[in-house]
Amino acid sequence: MKAKFSPYLSGIADGIKELIAELKKSYDYVSVLSTDSVGFTVSVSQRSKSIQGKTMMTERGNVVRVYKDGLYSEYAFNLFDPSKAKETAEKIKKILDSQLEVIKATSTKVYDTKKLSDEKQELFVEMECRTVPEETDLSALVEKFQKISDEGVSFSDEVLECMVGGRSTHICKMFLTENKDLRQSYVASDGYVYMMGARGDKQDTAHVGVSDREGPDIFDVFTETVKTAFKDLQDNLGSSHIEPGEYEVITTPIVTGLIAHEAFGHGVEMDMFVKNRALGAEYIDKRVGSDLVTMHEGATVVKDASSYAFDDEGTLAGDVIEIQNGILKTGICDALAALRLGCEPTGNGKRENFEHKAYTRMTNTMFDAGTSTKEEMIASVKKGYLLDGFFSGMEDPKHWGIQCIIARGYEIIDGKLTGKVVSPVVMTGYVPDLLGSISMTSKDYESFGTGMCGKGHKEWVKTVDGGPYLKAVARLG
Amino acid sequence: MTEKIIELLKSSGVDGWEVVDKVTEAWEFYFIKHELDQNRVRDVEHISIEVFRKLEDGKFLGSASEEIAPTATEAEAKKLIEDLYERAAFVKNPYYELGKKSEVLKNQDFDPKKMAQDFIEALAEVPETSTEYINSYEIFAEKIKKRFVNSEGVDMTVTYPSSTVEVVVNAKNEEHEIELYNMYNSGTCDKEALKKEIALSLKYGKDRLHTVPTPAIKKAPLVLSTKDTVMVGQWAAMKMHVAMVFRKMSNWEIGKPICDDVKGDTFTMKSVKELPNSSKNIGMDSEGNVVRDMDIIKDNVPQNYWGDRQFGYYMGIKDIFMPNNFELEGGKSSEEELRQGTFLEVVEFSDFSVDNFTGDIAGEIRLGYWHDGDKVAVVSGGSVSGSLPELIKDIRFSKEQKQYDSYVLPAVIRIADVTIAGVE
């Protein structure tokens, strides 16, 4: 089925076009992004249940971007009457002029930027999906989640709680300028089984997720997911602390994705190049990894929860090869950073929602698959760990440091898993050293899109990452 | 629109309801060095509705919530209320009560224009040099008006300021350049406090230019003296969250010491209704419960749980609330005394994290000071890790306290026997 475009957005389109025409009388460039995304979050545990008609991506509102005298200004609002476009334009001009008074009063200099181009372009996309959140039987979904939760706690007395959650959003966005009319509609969902347990004084958790650019039917796999979560929890509860040091490691695809995201995902967001905040700018066409490292980034790279048709600045989605056989080729770029750097935008200008500024952000960040098998890779390790699952990661684009808090490591001695588990594992290091140490990559290729990504410590957007199993050398603590 | 929604809810026949109406006027300025990258205004209203439904003769209480657009029609609002009432039947939670207590809250006016201008002026006054300087910053100044209304007669409105400044500072020498990232939250702009914090960050930046790899220390006392102390305070606070206790994710019990054989200082923590210039001086929590001063832990002995009404009711606590501001009391030693002997003081992590459930701590060291006898090495790289439930017996707090927005904590926290994964 097709994810139908929002009737609400269709209904205000003429009013928004009139607003653009009014603002064009005062500004050299005007665009409006309008959004109407609906969805739900359902969560069920042994002790509580909830249904909320919202997700991290539900929203309804507009953001106007205007340009004059080298400066871009924005006004985000959600009270819009299409029959009063002229009055809205006057209100916007008045408040933005008031901001200019502050700029003048503080003798602030403007970072002079060129005007965005505005060629004629039309696009109307209703993406295919199996189900949509609006038509979901929430009663049946709560019941299904309850059964999964009940099964989770039935596995062992050590399981204190089993939380099952799912979010599904029907995303509709409309980007209009004087000459552009882009409209897209798609559905994205993600969910999880989160288990908490205790063994003696030791408490621990396990989290297994699922995501896709599909509807709530993706939660059907939870009957298997809950078994994986229980195994992971058992492994964590039986774990010990790792002896800090440098080890050979095999990363599962989910950890590979975390490395892709934190190592060279943030490191080549080119709005950071404008601010001289990323070391990557100095390494274009230079070696940053081994020959086995090829990394793609873009909304069209895979089909998952961050695979859209155009970004929040009206740039069509793309597929950028960031690293090719270990050589850094290019980064990803939003529209304004592209103007400042003199390059083309890559379709990575994203906002947390209409209220937030657009930054260069990741979509799908994926390492390419290789030729080895997981078994061959484990057999090649003398002493090290198979790293699986994660709690968090943090980037450091200026210095290429990386911090990944991995959920657990399975000890490998002389090519065999010993059964010993360590948890949690803090993996740190210098990105080119880590990527340069990659000596094997598997044939597997998986994407993961259950998390949200921040820029610094704010601006949360949906991102996806992944790839194959990797063999590398890393510092663990 | 809110009045119309309330009217519809009153006549709808639902068993209970809550409406939160939040109006935000935000002024934002984004800078690259000191040049304006972009200016923005947010002018938004968010109205959320939660509908409650008694099930099986009141043994259970179902609920469902959703935000409604402020531009919605009366017919759309009516339909949403009906949908929520239907959905509430699917969510069969044991019965609990909604809040009934209402108070008149502060409604002082705030001007986001003035707040933003103060921040711009403060950032311009930070003393910079050619080698230690501000790379970029983002200013967010908000005036928020929030109204909470429910079916039990609660109707409270509060107006409060909330500000965030994100600042990236750089330091460089002939060999390389480094950056440090900081985010400061407050009510309005406290120019002097902000300038002082950024000046300290510039000093750290200068020190970071001359770091050596963190040695293979294995185990050492860890000293925290920056915003990372908040993570320790939050962990202790979360152990007393009623939902954590009810779900058996916390084993801290009222009246029972949180650990035996204490070698360090004890935890004394309380909810504080207001703190100077906190962005959380709101007077009520997100469920419309009135907040107040309250002891949470006293000398390591839990006094009162805090949290949401649902789990509070299940635990037999009717007058429960979620504090907006917390205070962790200082200990017996001075900052200077806590900085004696061998220890690693880390002032910049990539991201210092504390898992609220397991108490596991972890963080990559971006800038630390390794004190080994009389020698001090400025270090970078490697990580710290450990488990607070295992380390809690020997945590020491300075007498001096410091405020980070909605938290007041010991200025220095010293945790013994933390695992340090060095680079060498």
Report d(CA A229, CA A385) in Å as an integer. 20
Co-location of A395 and A459 in the same domain: yes
Report d(CA A217, CA A262) in Å as an integer. 30
Of A78, A245, A403, the CB nearest to B45: A78
Q: Which of A42, A48, A460 to mutate to test the interface with B (most CBs of B within 10 A)?
A: A48
Looking at B186, B208, B230, the residue that finishes a domain is B208
In a domain, A114, yes or no: no
Q: How far is B334 from chain A (nearest CA, A)?
A: 31
On the question of pLDDT at A264 being above 80, the answer is: no
**Residue B2 CB burial class (10 angstroms; 0-12, 13-18, ≥19):** middle
3-state secondary structure (DSSP) of residue A170: strand
Q: Residue B208 corresponds to which tokens in the numbers above?
A: 């970071």
Co-location of A209 and A299 in the same domain: no
Residue of B nearest to A75 (CA): B41
B124 touches A: beta carbon within 8 Å? yes
Co-location of B180 and B247 in the same domain: no
Predicted pLDDT at B107: 87
Gyration radius of chain A's alpha carbons: 24
Co-location of B340 and B391 in the same domain: yes
- The single-letter DSSP state of residue A357 is P
Residues sharing a CB contact under 8 Å with residue A142, sequence separation 6 or more, in sequence order: A42, A44, A49, A51, B90, B91
Co-location of B57 and B147 in the same domain: yes
Q: How far is B272 from chain A (nearest CA, A)?
A: 26
Record: contact A71-B32, CB cut-off 8 A: no
Burial A295-326 (b: 16+ CB within 10 A, else e): bbbbbbbbbbbbbbbbbbbbbbbbbbbbbbeb
Provide the domain limits for residue A457.
245-476
Report d(CA A64, CA A53) in Å as an integer. 26
Looking at A187, A205, A237, the residue that finishes a domain is A237
Alpha helices in B364-423 (DSSP H): 388-391
In a domain, A464, yes or no: yes
Burial B265-280 (b: 16+ CB within 10 A, else e): bbbbbbbbebbebbbb
> Quick one: how far is CA A285 from the chain centroid?
26
Record: contact B310-A357, CB cut-off 8 A: no
Q: Domain count of chain B?
A: 2
Co-location of A320 and A233 in the same domain: no
Model confidence pLDDT, tens digit, residues A267-317: 899 999 999 888 888 899 999 999 999 999 999 999 999 999 999 999 999
Predicted pLDDT at B42: 98
Co-location of A344 and A399 in the same domain: yes
> Quick one: how far is CA B133 from the chain centroid?
28
Residue type, B389: P
Q: Domain count of chain A?
A: 2
B363 touches A: beta carbon within 8 Å? yes
The set of long-range contacts for A390-395, using a CB threshold of 8 Å and a minimum separation of 24, is A390/A254, A390/A255, A390/A258, A391/A424, A391/B353, A391/B355, A392/B351, A392/B353, A393/A258, A393/A261, A393/A262, A394/A262, A394/B350, A394/B351, A394/B364, A395/A261, A395/A262, A395/A263, A395/A265, A395/A266, A395/A267, A395/B350
Co-location of B199 and B328 in the same domain: no
Alpha helices in B89-189 (DSSP H): 112-124
Interface contacts A/B by beta carbons within 8 Å: 231
Co-location of A342 and A224 in the same domain: no
Co-location of A333 and A191 in the same domain: no
Relative to beta strand B383-387, strand B360-372 is: antiparallel
Report d(CA B252, CA B234) in Å as an integer. 14
Record: contact A96-B366, CB cut-off 8 A: no
For residue A173, give Cα distances in angstroms to A8, A363, A450, A453: 11, 16, 21, 20
**What angle (nearest 5°) sits at the alpha carbon of residue A256, between those of residues A250 and A259?**
115
Structure ipTM over 0.90, yes or no: yes
Model confidence pLDDT, tens digit, residues A118-128: 999 999 999 99
Contacts of B42 in chain A (CB under 8 A): 76-77, 355
Co-location of A329 and A437 in the same domain: yes
Q: How far is A275 from chain B (nearest CA, A)?
A: 6
Co-location of A350 and A384 in the same domain: yes
Co-location of B12 and B67 in the same domain: yes
Co-location of B159 and B266 in the same domain: no
Co-location of A155 and A302 in the same domain: no
The secondary structure of chain A in percent helix, strand, coil, rounded to multiples of 5, reads 25, 40, 35
> Quick one: how far is CA B285 from the chain centroid?
13
Model confidence pLDDT, tens digit, residues B170-200: 999 998 899 999 999 999 999 999 999 999 9
> pTM for the full model?
0.95
Predicted pLDDT at A399: 80
Q: How far is A444 from chain B (nearest CA, A)?
A: 30
Co-location of A68 and A98 in the same domain: yes
Q: Tokens 């790839």 correspond to what residue?
A: A467
For residues A4-31, average pLDDT: 98
Of B39, B178, B248, the CB nearest to A99: B39
Whether A448 contacts A464, CB under 8 Å: yes
Co-location of A229 and A280 in the same domain: no
B64 touches A: beta carbon within 8 Å? yes
Report d(CA B265, CA A118) in Å as an integer. 64
Residue type, B337: E
* Mean of the per-residue pLDDT values of chain A: 96
Q: Which of B22, B23, B31, B42 to mutate to test the interface with A (most CBs of A within 10 A)?
A: B42
Looking at B178, B208, B238, the residue that finishes a domain is B208
Co-location of A150 and A63 in the same domain: yes
Provide the domain limits for residue B366.
211-424
- Give the other-Cβ count within 10 Å of A134's Cβ: 14
Looking at B172, B193, B208, the residue that finishes a domain is B208
Looking at A209, A237, A265, the residue that finishes a domain is A237
Residue of A nearest to B45 (CA): A78
3-state secondary structure (DSSP) of residue B398: strand
Of A47, A58, A391, the CB nearest to B246: A47
Predicted pLDDT at B424: 64
User: In chain B, which residues have pLDDT < 70?
Assistant: 424
Contacts of A275 in chain B (CB under 8 A): 32, 135-136, 168
Of A77, A98, A106, the CB nearest to B120: A106
Whether B50 contacts B148, CB under 8 Å: no
In a domain, A268, yes or no: yes
pLDDT band at A336 (very low <50, low <70, confident <90, very high): very high
